[in-house]
Structure 1
Amino acid sequence: MSVLFISSSFFGYATHIKKELEKRFENVLWYEDRPSTSFLGKVKTRLLPSIAEKMAFRYFKRIADENRDKKVREVFVIKGESLSVESIKYLRKVFPDAIFRLYFWDGYKNMPSSSFAKVDYFDVALSFDPVDVKNDSRLKYRPLFFIRDYQNDRPVTPDIDLLFVGTAHTDRYKIVKKIDESLAGSGVNFHKVLYCPSRIIYWARRVFDPSFWSVKKDDFIFKPISHKELSGLMSRAGAILDIERTAQTGFTMRTLEILGSARKLITTNPSVLGASFYDPKNVLAIDRKNPAIPKDFLRSPRIDVDKAIIAYYSIAAWADEIFGALPKIRAKLPEQQVPTLVD
């Protein structure tokens, strides 16, 4: 039995998902969720939607035609930003017996408006965003996951008090800078790794974004670090900072990697206060406009989290839940387990 898996590579996570799917299916047919993954290709998708949609339809039509004899019984799409309703209809025509599953690892507010309409064409639809799930009864809640690289079975003594590693999107740099300034002279070792996906983006923000006018090029890296390197850094940190996009309420991948790494979490996402793993000794929610990190939180010991809770956020449990969810056209979906939202 084959599964057609459509997803962006997204920092290599799709490779790990593919490995999980290979434990469940004889054949995993993985394709990028857009015709071009280059920077210019992504710009075209956002700025020239009509042209990009035609290119995307031809791309997905070719994928369907190439695999029509592969006994595809599952079609699994993650986000599918370039996948139009017409493309989905064509896939369903070619694979009439397949179960179509959709997972959003982004929020509606951060995706094209067409994302909402796509849900009707899937048998099972899940999202990592609790607000979207609350407002759209078609969605089932399922948080993201951490991969095995971040399972910290042998914690080491930290030599970094606070760590931040992330893409310098939206207001992240501004928040990191405020925290850095607030910790100046405190003796706290704050290690920062800011990633910019393109030098073009860097220089554009230097010109048009006032928060970037004072930055230095040396403050950024332009090549993403590997999961091995990142997990090594995280194992050396006592606490790790995560800053979600303002348009999202779901737990980021980093949040759950921190959980798997057995490190303290500092986050600007208030949804974490309703999480199953929340404990004020391990998790600190800060105000993104006025971020303040008490030294007592950094210096106090972390307590262990129930192993069953940690296991729930593993990539294996994530895949089990997605493919264990029965299609809505054949059975009622399981009860949604959404964290309590905290304003």
Structure 2
Amino acid sequence: MKTNRKKSIILGMPRTFSIYEVLVNRLEQLGFEVIDISYDDDVFKYRNIWDRLVNLYHKTILNNKGYKNKLKFKALGVEVVKRLQAIEDKVDYCLLIRADIYPEEVIDQIKMKTNKMIAYQWDGVNRYPAVKKLVYKFDRFFVFDSKDAEQEDERFIATTNFYFGHLDNIEIKPKPSTFFFVGTFMKVRWQQISDTIQLIIQNNGAPNFYLYTGEKDMAKEYHIDGINFINNPLTYQENINLALQNEIFVDFLVDAHNGLSFRVFEAIGYGRKLITNNKEVMNYDFYHPHNIYVLNHEERTLSEFLNIPYSPINTEILNKYNFDNWIYRILEN
């Protein structure tokens, strides 16, 4: 007798910027039963100086890069343990994004309750090296930076980030000559950001940049027209709603990796032009010089790029990077 039982999936990831909520909601809309074990790994504070010293010992002497994450989980992962203990039947899939935020023993517990273990590292492997010793625990381990797949072994499988096609809102009409960027304030990329803003203004553009910082006085020290310093991070949904009001998306590479950010895929998915300093974008099947301008790697001027009409991307290519297809490729490939 056939059953219409939903496929079940354990989803675990950082709760940073609330993107996990969009993932959970979309998976449910796609027909999955979702067991969400995501948690706020970025709000951790050491209880005392002893915990800090013990972590330093593990990190420098024992070369245990994952000890701090174990402390984080002990403090913040109580609900995760309860949810795992409540699982009675085998789950079809587990997808851990940034598996390094979970202790090995928790991953082992998940493995006992799951038919297929999948991991996706959407940050550079060398930025969070503790994940390297976890690879063997998964049936498939994906990385978003192809360089990581080349430099490690065959267990590291290259893939990309994605965009959420269902979040596109064609009723939102972008304002002409508007440029959107949102990110965390980092001194190492401040010069690049300020130079890009000046370039945009010189070309009669209106920059709408949002920089998140926990320091409330940052706006006074680094004030530039076109930058909004925010002390509370935008949710992912707020981010997309703001982005769609702009004609051109802007992206800055983080030096710790070469993988393409979500902003790149949002640009192609929502039909927006893109300005980026990540030259790797030129190697992808969706690249078109009418749509993407690579800072410091162009012979043409920004003005010339802006005056060229957007060139629509092949639907088959667009669908490839839509989350609705990405998730099945990750789970079933």
Which residue does the alignment assign to 1:328?
none
Partners in 1 of 2:247 and 2:82 — Cα distance? 46
User: Could you tell me how far 1:28 is from its partner in structure 2?
Assistant: 1.3
Written as runs of structure 1 = structure 2, the 5 A alignment for 1:269-308 is 269-287=278-296, 294-308=302-316
CA distance in 2, matches of 1:80, 1:33: 12
SS at match of 1:145: coil
Residue matched to 2:119: 102
Alignment of 1:9-48 (within 5 A): 9-23=15-29, 27-33=33-39, 36-38=41-43, 40=45, 48=55
Distance 1:134 1:70 in 2: 37
**2:30 and 2:166 mapped to 1: Cα distance?**
21
CA deviation string 1:152-208 (max 9, x = no partner): 546736323432222223533321111223445442322222222x23xx66xx6xx
Structural mapping, 1:1-343, within 5 Å:
2-23=8-29, 27-33=33-39, 36-38=41-43, 40=45, 48=55, 50=67, 52-54=69-71, 56=73, 59=77, 62-63=81-82, 66-92=85-111, 94-95=112-113, 98-111=115-128, 113-136=129-152, 137-148=154-165, 150-151=167-168, 153=170, 156=173, 158-169=175-186, 171-196=188-213, 198-199=214-215, 214-216=221-223, 219-287=228-296, 294-325=302-333
Tell me, in whole angstroms, the C-alpha distance in 2 between the residues paired with 1:186 and 1:12: 34
8 Å CA contact retained: 1:57, 1:86: no
Quote the offset at 1:21 in angstroms: 2.9
Report deviation, 1:91.
3.3
Alignment TM-score, normalising by the size of structure 1: 0.77
Q: Secondary structure at the match of 1:102?
A: strand
In structure 1, the residue matched to 2:63 is none
TM-superposition CA deviations, 1:289-343 (whole Å, max 9, x none): x9x9621112221111111111111110111111112xxxxxxxxxxxxxxxxxx
2:327 and 2:248 map into 1 onto residues whose CA distance is: 28
Structure 1 residues 41 and 301: alpha-carbon distance in aligned structure 2, compared to 1, 3 A threshold: farther
Q: Larger relative CO (CA 8 A, sep 6+): 1 or 2? A: 1
SS of the residue corresponding to residue 244 of structure 1 reads: coil
Structure 2 Cα separation of the partners of residues 24 and 191 of structure 1: 34
Residue 276 of structure 1 aligns to a residue whose secondary structure is coil
Q: In structure 2, the residue corresponding to 1:3 is in which secondary structure?
A: strand
- List per-residue Cα deviations over 1:108-132 (Å, max 9, x = no partner): 1221x22111111111111111111
Q: Determine if contact 1:128/1:144 at 8 Å carries over to the other structure.
A: yes
Deviations 1:54-77 (A, max 9, x none): 563684783475234143232221
- CA drift of 1:138 comes to 0.8
Does the 8 Å contact 1:277/1:309 carry over to 2? yes
Q: Which consecutive residues of structure 1, in runs of 5 or more, have no partner in the other structure?
A: 207-211, 326-343
Equivalent residue number for residue 332 of structure 1: none
Find the aligned partners of 1:146 and 1:38 in 2 and give their Cα distance.
26
Give, in whole Å, the separation in 1 of the partners of 2:72 and 2:116: 25
Q: Secondary structure at the match of 2:175?
A: coil
